[in-house]
Amino acid sequence: MLKELSLALVQDPAAASFEEFEHRLRELVRQYPRTQLFVFPEQHLLGAFDPSDQADLARHAEPLDGPTGRELARLTAELGVWLIPGSVLESTDSDLVYNTLVVYSPSGELAASYRKIFPWRPSETVEPGADFTTLRIDDAGTIGLTVCYDAWFPEHSRQLAWMGAELLVNVVLTPTGDRAQEVILVQANAIANQVFVASVNAAAPRGQGRSLLVDPQGRILAEAVGAESTVLAATVDLDEVRRTREYGTAGVTRPWSHFADTDQPIELPVYGGRITPQTWQPKL
C-alpha cells in the first residue's frame, strides 16, 4: 500500500524578517504545487540570532500563541500546506526559554511542538526539553521531530522509531566542520532504526548546508553537496519502512525481528532499564 508523502527540504540562510519568509514560502508553494510538507532549518525565523547571548534570547522569545505563531497559522491556513518553519524560541510563564520545533497543519492549527532535548552546550543556553514527539501527517504516516544535536544521541532516534515514526525530521543549524560527521549520523540513524531521515541544515553564510534525505536502508535519495541555497524536493513512500523491516536491510538484516519469545531480558544499567524480547516491536 502506498503511503506517499511529498516534501520540500529548504536549505536557505535564515530569514531576515517574517515578510521575507512569507514571500519565500509563497514562491515555493507556486514552484512545488503538489508538495504536502515544507521544512526549513533550525531557528530559521530568528535572523542573525546569537544563542549564547542572553539579551538576544530574551528579545526573540515569545509564547507559541504569540505574534509569530499567529502569523504562521494564518499563512498555512491560506496556503493549505503542512509547514515546519524550523524552530522558534518558546517563552513560558515560568520564564524558561526552549528551542522548539513547531508544525502547522493545512488548516492553520499548531499540530505539534517539540522542545529540543539536547541543546548544544555550552553555546546554546536554552532549557532542555523532556518529551519525545511524533505526528501523523494526513494518510501518509508518522513523522518524528528532532532538532540538530539530538541526532548525535542514538537513543533519541530509537525512541521515536519505537513510538511509530517512519520519517525523522531533523532541523539543523550547524555552522561548524562536524557537519561531515552529521551526514554519516543521518545515514546511521536511518539504518539502525530502518526509517527515513530528513536533515535540513541552514545555507551559508551561517550554516554548512549539506542537507539530505535518506531512506530506511541508508541510501541517499536527495542531497545538497554544498552550502548554497537549494531545495530538495522528493516524494517518499513511508510503507518502505514496513517492507524494509519485513524483508531486511539489503534483503538480510532485520534487527526489529531479532529476538525469540524465549530470550531473557537484557539489562541496560546505564539507563536503569532493559530490553524485553517479548515486547521488542516498534509501533506502526
Q: Which residues are catalytic?
A: 42, 116, 148
Cell numbers for 101? 520545533
Distance CA 155, CA 99 (A): 19
Is residue 271 helix, strand or coil?
coil
The half-sphere exposure of 272 on its side-chain side, counting CA atoms within 13 A, is: 0
Give how far Cα 53 sits from Cα of 43, 120, 205, Å. Answer: 14, 14, 19
What is the number of residues in the chain? 284
Scan for cell 527515513, then name that residue.
196
Query: Which residue type is seen at 71?
Result: E
The 3-state secondary structure of 170-236, one letter per residue: EECCCCCCCHHHHHHHHHHHHHHHCCEEEEECCCCCCCCCCCEEECCCCCEEEECCCCCCEEEEEEE
Distance CA 162, CA 281 (A): 7
Q: Are 217 and 244 in contact (CB under 8 A)?
A: yes
